[in-house]
């Protein structure tokens, strides 16, 4: 397993989409733990790409190529996580998206998949989602949770705006708000008055379950 995780990580660092896709297929063929391979293999790789880019060792096109290799692997693996979808007996409805100005969607999509696989009905608004869209959709669907992802320090304030707009529309008591994404933290969630912060997809499911009932 360790060797497989290392290979997955390295394929992303090398920006080798053909290899990352093949390794994702091998993960399914060998019936390995898909979530473990994602989190400890592929995600480690893309975070390393981000670190190397920040240090000036990689350039933007290489960041884009790494992200493409990551997406290819996720396209293969994500369907296998979509076990028991929500529905009539769902644990609740979650409206999720990445906040406006922010196109990072790999982590948000993984969280959406895991929520769905664990019995929540999920409306995924995608990335670069305007504040008003979160609020309107949650009101239309009678959602239990709004989950707002932000990967950029410059877009994090949008998470606060979602809460402010819920208050302005007297909807704050109707829907809970969770925040997530690399620069977010429990402190940030509490500062902006969110109902919780989740550091990864498993934590997001636990948080939604804990507050859903
Ligand atoms: Co960008 N980028 N990027 N990027 N990118 C970061 C975020 C950065 C930290 C890289 C760095 O400097 N080391 C940096 C932000 C710095 C800052 O804000 N201080 C950065 C930057 C600067 C940029 C651009 C501005 C670069 C430029 O153009 N000059 C630009 C932004 C464009 C925009 O959005 N307007 C940009 C673009 C891109 C790509 C397009 C190349 C690509 C994104 C592709 C895509 O998503 N479709 C990309 C990538 C891949 C990254 C890094 C390397 C990896 C992000 C990722 O996919 N991680 C990232 C570095 C990093 O995060 N360390 C970086 C894997 C993913 C599974 O993890 O998203 O953290 P993550 O999600 C986790 C948890 O956070 C959590 O669960 C997930 C699963 O465990 N989670 C939630 C996430 N959302 C959640 C929501 C929840 C709950 C949990 O409920 C609400």
Q: How far is Cα 132 from Cα 138, in angstroms, rounded to an integer?
A: 10
pLDDT tens digits along 142-201: 999 999 999 999 999 999 999 999 999 999 999 999 999 999 999 999 999 999 999 999
Parallel, antiparallel or unpaired: strands 121-124 and 176-180: unpaired
Domain span(s) for CATH 3.40.50.280 in the chain: 89-211
If you take atom 39 of ligand 1, which residue's CA is the nearest one? 64
User: What is the CATH class of 2-80?
Assistant: mainly alpha
Q: At a CB cut-off of 8 Å and minimum separation 6, what does 194 contact?
A: 159, 163, 177, 178, 179
Q: What is the pLDDT of residue 83?
A: 66
If you take atom 12 of ligand 1, which residue's CA is the nearest one? 54
Contact 4, 37 (CB under 8 A): yes
Q: What is the pLDDT of residue 86?
A: 45
Task: Name the residue of 13, 61, 63 to mutate for ligand 1: max ligand atoms within 8 A of Cβ.
Answer: 63
User: Cα of 104 to ligand 1 centre, how many Å?
Assistant: 5
Domain span(s) for CATH 1.10.1240.10 in the chain: 2-80
Q: At a CB cut-off of 8 Å and minimum separation 6, what does 110 contact?
A: 38, 74, 78, 201
Question: What spatial distance separates the first Cα and last Cα of the chain, rounded to whole Å?
Answer: 37
If you take atom 53 of ligand 1, which residue's CA is the nearest one? 50
User: Cα of 152 to ligand 1 centre, how many Å?
Assistant: 7
If you take atom 4 of ligand 1, which residue's CA is the nearest one? 104
pLDDT tens digits along 59-91: 999 999 999 999 999 999 988 887 655 445 789
Output the CA torsion sign for 157, 160, 161, 162: positive
Is the domain spanning 89-211 CATH 3.40.50.280? The answer is yes
């Amino acid at each position: 397993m360790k060797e497989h995780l290392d290979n997955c990580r390295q394929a992303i660092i090398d920006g080798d989409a053909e290899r990352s896709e093949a390794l994702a297929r091998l993960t399914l063929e060998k019936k390995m733990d898909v979530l473990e391979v994602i989190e400890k293999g592929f995600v480690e790789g893309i975070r390393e790409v981000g670190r190397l880019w920040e240090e000036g060792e990689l350039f933007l096109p290489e960041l884009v190529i790494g992200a493409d290799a990551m997406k290819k692997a996720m396209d293969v693996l994500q369907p296998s996580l979509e076990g028991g979808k929500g529905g009539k007996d769902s644990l609740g409805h979650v409206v999720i998206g990445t906040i406006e100005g922010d196109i990072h969607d790999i982590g948000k999509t993984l969280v959406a998949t895991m929520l769905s696989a664990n019995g929540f009905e999920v409306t995924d608004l995608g990335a670069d989602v305007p504040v008003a869209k979160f609020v309107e959709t949650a009101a239309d669907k009678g959602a239990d949770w709004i989950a707002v992802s932000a990967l950029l320090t410059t877009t994090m304030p949008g998470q606060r705006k979602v809460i402010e707009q819920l208050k302005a529309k007297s909807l704050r008591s109707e829907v809970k708000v969770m925040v997530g994404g690399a620069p977010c933290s429990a402190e940030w969630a509490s500062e902006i008055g969110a109902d919780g912060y989740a550091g990864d997809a498993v934590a997001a499911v636990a948080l939604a379950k804990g507050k859903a009932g």
